[in-house]
Structure 1
């Protein structure tokens, strides 16, 4: 089963935001108001009016009632929401925050970590352009409480960070004169978080980094700006005498589609025999893009008559999509260029290149989430062998439709996904069979458990994960398993009661999710 190109209006996330009526909403005032039918505005526990009765009515009481009914209709675990009177919670967003499950997974992790909202104009900007606020470095926090550890995992080209020659393997020492590693002051930690993870352009911050290769400290001053990510980089076709291709895939965002199309054309032209996909920092994006990647890896013969993912909604909606009202149909292995971004270089409808491989090597860490995990699960459903090198993935087999009401776009888990074999239970992620990290209960795959190697550039054949993949290809053997506690992956401190440095920006939550063509995971 292969996909047909849909009308662009139904395949872009921006169109989803237009499901609501923006005019006259005024951004969602907190002033309580009444609907034309006051009976629908009163609260009765367990009794829900249709969400459509409150849609686009932008007084706080109506917005809350829309959220309550919409959650009851579409939230995957609607029966685990504690139904409370909306009037008892001050503010629309604060009320939305209560409309989720508080249950835990079997391993003790929170069941729902992906419940948030964003101004609609900001959501459209981020989803379409790949633009975020920052300095141009991606920071990996290995220990968030004192003694803390954080290291640059990669930098974006032509940004303040790369212009100052910051690179992978630089360890954070201080932020604006505050000891990043050892401070126990809540106010100082808050300042560090605000500086490290800016929410606007023009923020100037002084950083001290230590290069792990030289042990020398460097002080740099950077100013935040709009950062345009490059989701597909380090494309290589020269590994193992040209038999192995490699690329670093950082995000399933709109601008990635053209870059993926070009990369796979390059792999096909080089007639590679094996492929290594580096998704160690890929938190998700368009789900249909994940199906494109899987199709380009496996090819037509390996995917014919098979589905990439079936969408499962709550038990109120076994056969119908509660958001679109359409009869449920599975996500196919997409065999054509869709055109997620505005004005793509490739013509929508163009046939995708294929490699027709029976296996693929995937480099992962705990930052590998959602759509990246869907590639793994979708290929396994089509009997493509997935060899996992690295550490366990984050575990997010869930998704949602970004839904606008009154100039705010809401994200609440509405569905899970299962592959062609009916499997989708990986809430604790995927991990290599020889993993020694036992905090969760992941799905175990063939491969090698290995810590992320910050001592080498990504795409370098001597970087530990890529080196291990190339060696496994030849020998079928793994080095001794390691975790983030190894030297190459740094040695995180035991968690303490000191305040934690955290990235709480919505843009980061967005990076940990997925997008079909018309929904997000």
Structure 2
């Protein structure tokens, strides 16, 4: 793979942090408790603390100055955003919420969804009118039960034509009706003569509480007498690790010699699940370095001096007490696109120094940093959280590196075989003729002519401007359990 997308870290920590400052006469100074929580959490944990002057340990010369600073922000979100480093380019992923209950449900794999994933495009010859094209219909969802299919086109919601100005409000509704349409290319590669024709067909969708099984589909193909395993995996969710191991058990019992791992729409999830998946693909690297971590300078110095092993994540051979079903492969084919993020990228990047990773598709998202959920409590955990509000924040706290130190892939990971999905020729997921899967099978077969024919047909003619994942701003995450040093945290608040 040619080298050229954050972890939610759930900490079991124990330390003492005050919620207000005192002056030299031990008189408490009034300040927003939420703002105090925001500043202190960012001061201790934030990855880019060294780049933010207002987070310096010596920033305030007195408690009164600190109190005045906090009180200058009437909205905790404004204070938080002022402490984020280059939010348009470097740190695009730190955030704060005022309802951590909904956030916790999202992290557990439960969300409110109708099961339709899609991409929005400008209609041909228009800068305002839009269409949506369904890229995936989640199993056992409302969309699946209503018969919606990958590749379906819609140009209106509830009879209202879709535009760049109204798409957000129309698609954010709990229930809506899709007005389906047909996209006609007139058999030319140009878009100037393309048309979108409304159909007299609608599908009513409702967003319900939905727990997604990330194991979307599995298949076994035969290429030149050897079995090829195919797995579309749409989220690194720890609750399904044992099921994932069972999938690899089936691959192993069927003597699978090649693996095509489809992460094209996988936004991330558990870093431990990423380690397990990578260990199932391999197996011969048990105990070796999977990835390492780089924290802010204060944390980094502590770990390097006292707990260097805490900076290392290693390959394993166990899952929930059971042995891993590992394929011991020296080569893996990974389908990844601009919707592949964080833990998906971690798998690609971490495996690359060990085996031949053939990345087929597009540049990935470019998300390599880690974040943690902080609550307004004495130890920043949910236990003892301030009952007067439901704010929580998710600042970046470290970035991940592979064994040879590669990280900072802001523009995403580069594909070895570049093949952008053509939304007017998506194909059926898991079908051997679906373009990305077909490209991997052709590469395994060693057929250059087949691969070139696939690439020549998969041209992209539409102008995308929005992805359904963008409606879930905290969707692209990874998480791992880790215990932080209590003595370091206490020292930070002296």
TM range, smaller chain = 0.7 to 0.9
Corresponding residue for residue 4 of structure 1: none
1:412-427 aligned at under 5 Å gives the runs 412-427=395-410
Mapped to 1, the partners of 2:408 and 2:19 lie a distance apart of 43
Distance 1:501-1:460 versus aligned 2 partners, 3 A rule: closer
Mapped to 1, the partners of 2:408 and 2:361 lie a distance apart of 20
User: By how many angstroms is 1:328 displaced?
Assistant: 2.9
> Which of 208, 213, 216 does residue 230 from structure 1 map onto?
213
1:82-481 aligned at under 5 Å gives the runs 83=54, 85-102=69-86, 110-118=89-97, 119-128=99-108, 130-142=109-121, 146-180=128-162, 183=163, 186=165, 189=166, 192-198=167-173, 203-210=174-181, 217=199, 218-240=201-223, 243-299=227-283, 301=284, 303-304=285-286, 306-320=288-302, 328-337=310-319, 348-381=320-353, 383-405=354-376, 406=386, 407-432=390-415, 446-452=416-422, 454-475=425-446, 477=448, 478-479=451-452
User: By how many angstroms is 1:164 displaced?
Assistant: 1.5
Which of these two proteins has the greater Rg computed from alpha carbons? Answer: 2
Q: Is the 8 A contact 1:369 1:395 kept in 2?
A: yes
Partner-residue secondary structure (3-state), 2:54 = coil
User: By how many angstroms is 1:193 displaced?
Assistant: 1.3
Distance 1:428-1:359 versus aligned 2 partners, 3 A rule: same
Q: Is the 8 A contact 2:294 2:311 kept in 1?
A: no
User: By how many angstroms is 1:396 displaced?
Assistant: 0.7
Corresponding residue for residue 29 of structure 1: none
Corresponding residue for residue 478 of structure 2: 514
Mapped to 1, the partners of 2:452 and 2:298 lie a distance apart of 48
Alpha-carbon deviations, 1:410-452, whole Å to 9, x = none? 11111111111122231211122xxxxxxxxxxxxx3343325
Q: Is the 8 A contact 1:278 1:362 kept in 2?
A: yes
Alpha-carbon deviations, 1:317-345, whole Å to 9, x = none? 224369x99963300113221xxxxxxxx
Q: Is the 8 A contact 1:17 1:402 kept in 2?
A: no
Mapped to 1, the partners of 2:311 and 2:105 lie a distance apart of 29
Partner-residue secondary structure (3-state), 2:341 = coil
Mapped to 2, the partners of 1:298 and 1:113 lie a distance apart of 33
Partner-residue secondary structure (3-state), 1:423 = coil
Alpha-carbon deviations, 1:152-195, whole Å to 9, x = none? 11112232211221010012211122211xx36x4xx1xx3134
Partner-residue secondary structure (3-state), 1:414 = strand
User: By how many angstroms is 1:99 displaced?
Assistant: 1.9
Q: Is the 8 A contact 1:369 1:394 kept in 2?
A: yes
- TM-score when scaled to structure 2? 0.77
Q: Is the 8 A contact 1:398 1:414 kept in 2?
A: yes
Mapped to 2, the partners of 1:416 and 1:82 lie a distance apart of 21
Mapped to 2, the partners of 1:92 and 1:471 lie a distance apart of 54
Q: Is the 8 A contact 1:307 1:420 kept in 2?
A: yes
Distance 1:479-1:451 versus aligned 2 partners, 3 A rule: farther
- Higher mean C-alpha displacement, 72-81 vs 142-151: 142-151
Compute the RMSD of aligned alpha carbons: 3.6
| Structure number with higher relative contact order (C-alpha < 8 Å, ≥ 6 residues apart) | 2
Corresponding residue for residue 20 of structure 2: 35
Distance 1:14-1:283 versus aligned 2 partners, 3 A rule: closer
- TM-score when scaled to structure 1? 0.74
Mapped to 1, the partners of 2:234 and 2:101 lie a distance apart of 23
User: By how many angstroms is 1:14 displaced?
Assistant: 9.8
Alpha-carbon deviations, 1:120-171, whole Å to 9, x = none? 322322222x211121111123459734343111112232211221010012
Flag the structure with higher strand content: 2
**Where does the alignment leave 5 or more consecutive residues of structure 1 unmatched?**
1-11, 22-32, 43-52, 105-109, 338-347, 433-445
| Residue 62 of structure 1 pairs with residue 29 of structure 2 | no
Mapped to 1, the partners of 2:347 and 2:44 lie a distance apart of 29
User: By how many angstroms is 1:494 displaced?
Assistant: 8.2
Q: Is the 8 A contact 2:137 2:148 kept in 1?
A: yes
Mapped to 1, the partners of 2:264 and 2:292 lie a distance apart of 25
User: By how many angstroms is 1:207 displaced?
Assistant: 1.3
Mapped to 1, the partners of 2:15 and 2:178 lie a distance apart of 43
Distance 1:409-1:263 versus aligned 2 partners, 3 A rule: farther
